[in-house]
Structure 1
Amino acid sequence: MRSWLKVLVLSTLMSLGLTAYAQLRVDISGTGAQQYPVAIADFSGDSAGSQISEIIRADLTRTGQFRLISTAASTLTYTTPIAYDEWRTRGADFLAYGTVTRSGDGRLEIKYRLADTVKRGTLDEITIVGNDKELRRMAHQVADRIYEKITGIRGVFSTRIAYVLKRGKTYELQIADADGQNPQVALRSGEPIISPAWSPDGSRLAYVSFESGKPVVYVHQLATSKRFPVANYKGNNSAPAWSPDGNTLAVVLTRDGLSQIYLVGANDGSNLRRLTRSPLIDTEPTFSPDGRSIYFTSDRSGSPQIYQVGLDGGEPRRITFNGSYNISPRVSPDGKTLLTVTRRDGSFRVASLNLANGTETLLTQGRDDQSPSFAPNGMQVLYAAVQGGRSVLAGVSSDGRVRQTLSVLNGEIREPTWGPFTNK
């Protein structure tokens, strides 16, 4: 195994440090190129209304794209006539407000409206029903609607993230809301878990487990917690990546020698087919959004760089040329941008590469930034960073202007991956 690949694998395993159950604390810096002035009033009625409003405000603030206007000394209900001139004078182009009521069986009903104070009318409205356990989900759903109605881009607040952490000698694969709250354990093991990857519909996770004494690729059904191995060949089985239709996994196997990329059926591991044939290392595959090709890391040029190859095989095409070290490719949902981890001046940073013109932008400024993952709307990037000697989850807007740190109190987390949009 080449030294750079050893470093990649070992750094992943060694960085899984001690942690404890805790909600994530979010620190934000920077602002977007455009900030929309919006007021989020406390939802009236049930006492849960103020909590719902706070979640919505926090969601919008994290993007750096909104400037929150104070709603102090204002009492609004879902049926309150809106004084558009007053809110325009306060500086709000948009005003979100509503009412929360509780039925006899304890269920919450949120009635929400979004007013456009410039056009002097209602921009959006909806009624959402759920129980107390679904409060955060409902609030995220309202925030998603506000984000989309104002920006024209689908919001990601209702999506989920997955990451690996280690508690003592126990490894956990955890799933949380996009803001890092409400963490749930999907898998607990006494052996390392690495490389989690979401299925396109968000119902399954593929990952690598060392429970059998070697790396094996599993597919895990989240609703039932049932799982099965899809790649358990001699040698190493690693780096699963889903095809856009969810039927195929690209995996890295050493069954025929050095690490090479293969395709297997995602449902049962059948129809094994070798995709790359190189005398050197090919690893870290990721599908293009159209499912016709795969980007991957290879040292066939003498140093690790990113290549692209069609699913029908053929000669891979080199993609990265900036610097002597580029790994961990991830493609934006629109297929126009490629994320990589690049080494510059001894530091590992997340870079964004425009695939049309080759322009590169360094998105992060840390010493050891790893595992980048696009939000499903392409507007934000989640990654693992080291700050103050400990691993944390971090985020950056796709233009690099807004940065956030999601840190676990008294603990460390690694290997983040952002889940897809779902219809739930």
Structure 2
Amino acid sequence: MNNTLLPSIRSFPAQPLARRSLLAALAASPALPALAQFRVEVSGVGLTQLPIALVPFKGEDASPQKISEIVKADLERSGQFRGVDASGQSMDENARPDLTLWRQRTADSLVAGSVTRLADGRYDVRFRLWDVVRGQDLGGQSYTVPQADLRLASHRIADYVYEKLTGEKGIFSTRLAYVTRAGGRYTLWVADADGENAQAALASPEPIISPVWSPNGGQLAYVSFESRKPVVYVHSVATGQRRLVANFKGSNSAPAWSPDGGTLAVTLSRDGGSQLFTIPAGGGEPRRLTQSSAIDTEPTYSADGGTIYFVSDRGGSPQIYKMSAGGGNPTRVTFSGSYNISPSVSPDGRWLAYITRTGGAFKLQVMELSSGTVTSLTDTSADENPSFAPNSKLIVYATQLQGREALMTTTLDGKIKARLAGKAGDIREPDWGPFQKQ
């Protein structure tokens, strides 16, 4: 093992470059069409899925987006809901449903609504949610949006339904960041939580890796190789403007935001080796956190900002450790397996997701931090870069399915998975953004 790169997470024919933490980069793969559409394919069965009927919204046949279908896909992907057949039914948010009919169809809840194109070209989207079992009107909302925001309105409807029926905040109007490589060109994308509506934030002939959302969702930190070495930028999603944050001697990589957004933890080799530092998010002089002859990399903060988890080979092989965010003596966290990398801590502080190598396969694991209990979530063998949804209920990760790159989400028990990616392309480095301000 050399002093600047941990072994590649996969064996690629291309030169080793740093991944989210100097772990190996995007290499030659089938090209991704520039604006490939994603299909959500949900698989698996949960134990406590709530049966819900989504009646086709009145007027959605003439709408560019099928609102009811988007809402249904969101809810099913969460693992908490099971769609009930609503074919042959017609109603909108003003209709009083025949609850006997929907009970016969085994629905516990019902959503109906309408979408109307206004004279100014915008769309009026309305909906209402019903508790079929109790016969209660659970309320509804209306949105007046431009055509480009019809999907966002759909996701907000799904958020409303999810919160009303589970008591927890929905994550469907949040965003993902990820990187693609297509024919030697690297693109950083920002997309909806279902992978659709992807917008290019940055494109470059040189690798872009390690995108990570700021706590307020307004910025992305990432590593670019534009200057033929890894340097860290912070990029405004709204304006496209960016600033150089870390460009010191050697390698600058693996940025991670503190929960208050004021600090970035990074991996620097400016003093030799790969060590952890913190640096003001606006730039400035780094402060060294670790003092070891080992490779220390992949920092990530706990939700309360008090702890940094990271990867180190100080024990002879890559394992996950934790220490105070201000530095100090690290404590080892992972003990199952000889190779554990890519830590991600859930926003509620209960879970640690990471990648373990077992017999040449790279598999997504989740650990309950209070007990140390570890669960393997996948049957794939090339998983990488897990990232929690902001409500801590789902994990997005990159993997290979049938030899092709894919973005997947999974519930924490591994029972419900959804494929977000299309059938071709090199898609990597997903990071799930925070809750969006309404």
TM range (shorter): over 0.9
Which region of structure 1 is more displaced relative to structure 2, 405-414 or 151-160? 405-414
CA positional deviation for 1:127: 1.2
Aligned position for 1:153 = 168
For the pair 1:20 / 2:33, whether they are aligned, the reply is yes
CA positional deviation for 1:61: 2.0
* 1: CA distance, partners of 2:45 / 2:3: 41
* 2: CA distance, partners of 1:231 / 1:64: 40
* 1: CA distance, partners of 2:28 / 2:367: 27
* 2: CA distance, partners of 1:63 / 1:211: 38
* 1: CA distance, partners of 2:7 / 2:84: 51
Summarize the alignment of residues 124-143 of structure 1 with structure 2, pairs less than 5 Å apart. Answer: 124-143=139-158
Amino acid at match of 1:168: G
Alpha-carbon distance change, 373 to 200 in structure 1, aligned in 2, over 3 angstroms:
same
Which region of structure 1 is more displaced relative to structure 2, 55-64 or 324-333? 55-64
For the pair 1:221 / 2:221, whether they are aligned, the reply is no
For the pair 1:102 / 2:103, whether they are aligned, the reply is no
Q: State the secondary structure of the residue aligned to 2:328.
A: strand
* 1: CA distance, partners of 2:129 / 2:64: 16
For the pair 1:408 / 2:422, whether they are aligned, the reply is yes
* 2: CA distance, partners of 1:19 / 1:92: 40
CA positional deviation for 1:362: 0.4
CA positional deviation for 1:180: 0.9
Aligned position for 1:286 = 300
Where in structure 2 are there 5+ consecutive unaligned residues?
Answer: 10-17
Where in structure 1 are there 5+ consecutive unaligned residues?
Answer: none
Q: Conserved in 2, the CA contact under 8 Å of 1:44 and 1:99?
A: yes
Alpha-carbon distance change, 49 to 68 in structure 1, aligned in 2, over 3 angstroms:
farther
Q: Conserved in 2, the CA contact under 8 Å of 1:4 and 1:304?
A: no
Percent identity reads 50
Aligned position for 2:198 = 183
Q: State the secondary structure of the residue aligned to 2:26.
A: helix
Aligned position for 2:436 = 422
Amino acid at match of 1:7: S
* 2: CA distance, partners of 1:155 / 1:247: 26
Q: Conserved in 1, the CA contact under 8 Å of 2:30 and 2:424?
A: no
Q: Conserved in 2, the CA contact under 8 Å of 1:348 and 1:370?
A: yes
Q: State the secondary structure of the residue aligned to 2:102.
A: helix
Q: State the secondary structure of the residue aligned to 1:43.
A: coil
Q: Conserved in 2, the CA contact under 8 Å of 1:217 and 1:230?
A: yes
Q: Conserved in 2, the CA contact under 8 Å of 1:55 and 1:139?
A: yes
* 1: CA distance, partners of 2:45 / 2:5: 36
Q: Conserved in 2, the CA contact under 8 Å of 1:31 and 1:65?
A: no
CA positional deviation for 1:75: 1.6
Which region of structure 1 is more displaced relative to structure 2, 63-72 or 297-306? 63-72
* 2: CA distance, partners of 1:78 / 1:49: 20
Alpha-carbon distance change, 402 to 302 in structure 1, aligned in 2, over 3 angstroms:
same
User: Segments of 4+ in structure 1 off by > 6 A?
Assistant: none
Aligned position for 1:321 = 335
Deviations 1:350-408 (A, max 9, x none): 10011111100001121111111111111111111122323211221111111222222
Aligned position for 1:376 = 390
* 1: CA distance, partners of 2:427 / 2:366: 23
Amino acid at match of 2:43: S
* TM-score (structure 1 length as normaliser): 0.96
Deviations 1:109-137 (A, max 9, x none): 11211001111111121111101111101
Aligned position for 1:203 = 218
Q: Conserved in 2, the CA contact under 8 Å of 1:17 and 1:165?
A: no
Amino acid at match of 1:117: V
Aligned position for 2:185 = 170
Aligned position for 2:14 = none
* TM-score (structure 2 length as normaliser): 0.93
Q: State the secondary structure of the residue aligned to 2:149.
A: helix
